[in-house]
Structure 1
């Protein structure tokens, strides 16, 4: 049975694993700065939209066919692979810019390179960042990466379905997961300690975080953990550390999306939640889908502190219940018995959130924590 490619992709029984050969393809590039949804697409020689090239974020199709086909400004000879959207946000690149790479193992002929649209502003030649290229190399792919910025006619374009993404696609399709398992980081040797805590304490409060995370780090060091700040390490170094560890505890964030690509079912992986958001469920599904073992989730939030000028949940700072977190970590086998963890008072939390480190970013107010389904 053929699945309608205009419908939302799903990991199973979907067009997410379709691989189309489109001869004389027209790439209708987006215009200007891209908003949440925008007009762009891939069209066949007869001017019909190739819906398998569409980009979905969760339950929403964000790349929609334009009403009028543009005149091509250039022509590219040979065969190429459609890569989708290239993001300059690391987490979104991982979840939404890598979604077609499963096709590397299924191409019927060699291709000249990968073609992307850029999901951000930038001059010609500036869009491909170092981490974009290194990630794709870690996938065992040495093809050049090209950003297409004007309407282009392509001699032959291979268009894979979206095999990964946010929302329902977080676990990845079977072919996507198989490609990751076979390819990602295969030449990187394991190196590092057995226990690591992946911290956000040095990223800065502009991106949200955990209140008193430095104090949490001190407690985890006493339990044999090494504190790991992934932004200070190359992608190869991160893979080496994640491969070596038996216990990986992490503050919720994009680092876990990257960990998913090299995680294993024999590892103990846990996430300390820092916000009440559907993004938490996406990360849990992502890691669990890729490695075959659902990570533990520790949601010991007393209050969530939000900037007064923003309602964006990634800006939230979680005030943790330390005794509750200790109990949960012990029960899940991430830490052993030891002295009781002291909880921080409301006055201490208020003093910390209004300290110079946070105050120079914004003014915060406390909100009650409620459960939210993805």
Structure 2
């Protein structure tokens, strides 16, 4: 692929090693403490050797799991059957889709798998609480007969296969060829397209701490007036989300995790506009994924005018409250054919001040304003 968003990983085949390892020890929590987002967890073979091929990636070449120190006194459970190692199990749907499904492509091989086993991302007293929400996804894949496991205690698995991870964040967001083919062949294959042709995927009802834009409801109102249906994915079942994305022919959205699913499902004729929602450049991941999975190059819109963040704190770019230049946004959408070319008015200063104050009150802290150029 010639796009600047693609890398050599995009078309690089994965190793077809489906060796079955016996008596593998899954260690979900090591004794050693690890700083930051990384954590001590991993797999060991029957002789006690660490298995680096089971390290879980977020970005290319950057594992979030490191070799754990095993508590020799800890009890060890046993799990009979043949399991596919799925990586790290995330409760957040976006991270689940990117990091917990990246090895599922190996299920395309008829290897007699009884289930999928992951390392848990969080500690829970009841292990099934983490994987139970995965059931609708596996049902949509036609794989509801698989047993799903993310043990919280050291577990010795009778047989396990550890394929390469074919999806993730950053350059991994294009997906490797085998992963893309698998998802395209299975995800939502029994779910019919149903819904409006023009869709705006909203973040306005999400927890503002996750980061979004100010006055998004005003953007919604302006697009609704031009025939867009405002869609809040978190309010709908996975089946409905899949049906809506399949049916859409025009999608406008802020960059956000809902787009990971949409990129796997849209028709090649669908036009997509992605609006950068803050000073981070995570939008690149979605541009990369849409092109690689659907052959669709989205219209990218950068219209951040300024942003706010709690004062006295280091700015986390994904968690800012950004103001978009409404005039520039309307013009860009019009030029790309997503709306009429009639000009949009600038954001109302009184409405803006009220929304900033409301978010400050909710966060119980004053915000500092930053110019977009300072990002």
* TM score, norm. by length of structure 1: 0.89
The DSSP-based 3-state class of the residue aligned with 2:265 is coil
CA pair 255-298 structure 1, distance change in 2 beyond 3 A: same
Q: Are the structure 2 counterparts of residues 365 and 371 from structure 1 closer, same or farther at C-alpha, using a change threshold of 3 Å?
A: closer
Q: CA–CA distance in 2 between the matches of 1:155 and 1:129?
A: 20
Q: How many residues align structurally?
A: 361
Q: Which residue of 2 aligns with 1:44?
A: 45
What is the rounded CA distance, in whole Å, between the counterparts of 1:125 and 1:67 in structure 2? Answer: 21
**Is the CA contact (8 Å cut-off) linking 1:72 and 1:153 kept in structure 2?**
no
The partner residue of 1:299 within 298, 302, 308 is 302
Indicate if the aligned counterparts of 2:173 and 2:285 stay in contact, CA closer than 8 A.
Answer: yes
Q: 1:139 to 1:358 in 2, by over 3 A?
A: farther
Cα distance between partner residues in 2 of 1:17 and 1:164: 16
1:22 aligns with 21
DSSP 3-state at the match of 1:360: helix
The aligned residue for residue 323 of structure 1 is: 327
- Verify the 8 A CA contact 1:118 1:127 in the aligned structure 2: no
- Alpha-carbon offset, residue 288 of structure 1: 2.2
Of residues 273, 277, 281, the one that matches 1:274 is: 277
List aligned pairs for 1:352-367, cutoff 5 A.
352-354=355-357, 356-361=358-363, 362-367=365-370
Q: Structure 2 stretches of 5 or more lacking a match?
A: 1-7
Residues 105, 183 of structure 2: 8 Å contact kept: yes
Aligned to 2:186: 183
In the other structure, the counterpart of 1:3 is: none
Deviations 1:75-112 (A, max 9, x none): 222211111111111211111111111111024x2122
Contact conserved, 1:112 with 1:144, CA < 8 A, in 2? Answer: yes
The answer on whether the counterparts of 2:251 and 2:272 sit within 8 Å (CA) in structure 1 is: yes
Write the distance in 2 (CA, Å) between the matches of 1:86 and 1:359: 34
The Cα shift of 1:72 comes to 6.7
Question: How do 1:78-227 residues align onto structure 2 when only pairs under 5 Å count?
Answer: 78-107=81-110, 109-128=111-130, 130-142=132-144, 143-227=146-230
Contact 1:114–1:146 (CA<8 Å) still a contact in 2? yes
Unaligned runs of 5+ residues in structure 1 are 1-8
Report the Cα distance in structure 2 between the residues aligned to 1:10 and 1:55, rounded to whole angstroms.
17
* Deviates most, 62-71 or 299-308: 62-71
1:183 to 1:313, Cα distance in 2 relative to 1, 3 A: same
SS at match of 2:200: strand
Cα deviations by residue, 1:330-369 (Å, 9 ceiling, x for unpaired): 111111233x211026565334312x24422242211122
- 267 and 17 in structure 1: CA distance in 2 versus 1, 3 angstrom threshold: farther
Tell me, in whole angstroms, the C-alpha distance in 2 between the residues paired with 1:237 and 1:125: 28
Aligned 8 A contact 1:196 1:247 in 2:
yes
CA distance in 2, matches of 1:292, 1:363: 44
| Root mean square deviation, CA, Å | 2.4
Shift of 1:289: 1.8
User: Aligned-pair distance for 1:15?
Assistant: 5.2
**d(CA) in 1 for partners of 2:24 and 2:75?**
10
Structure 2 distance, partners of 1:130, 1:43, is 26
Q: 1:266 Cα deviation (Å)?
A: 1.5
Contact 2:331 2:341 in 1 (8 A): no
Does residue 292 of structure 2 align to residue 289 of structure 1?
yes
Structure 1: how far apart are the matches of 2:277 and 2:19?
Answer: 41
Deviations 1:319-340 (A, max 9, x none): 01111111111111111233x2
TM-score (norm: length of structure 2): 0.89
Question: 5 Å matches for 1:232-247?
Answer: 232-247=235-250
User: Cα gap change, 1:76/1:278 in structure 2, threshold over 3 Å: closer, same or farther?
Assistant: same
Provide the secondary structure at the position in 2 that maps to 1:170.
Answer: helix
Whether the 8 Å CA contact 1:127–1:147 is kept in 2: the answer is: no
CA 1:94–1:311: 2 relative to 1, 3 Å: same
> 1-side partners of 2:321 and 2:245: how far apart?
26
CA contact (8 A) 2:333 2:339 kept: yes
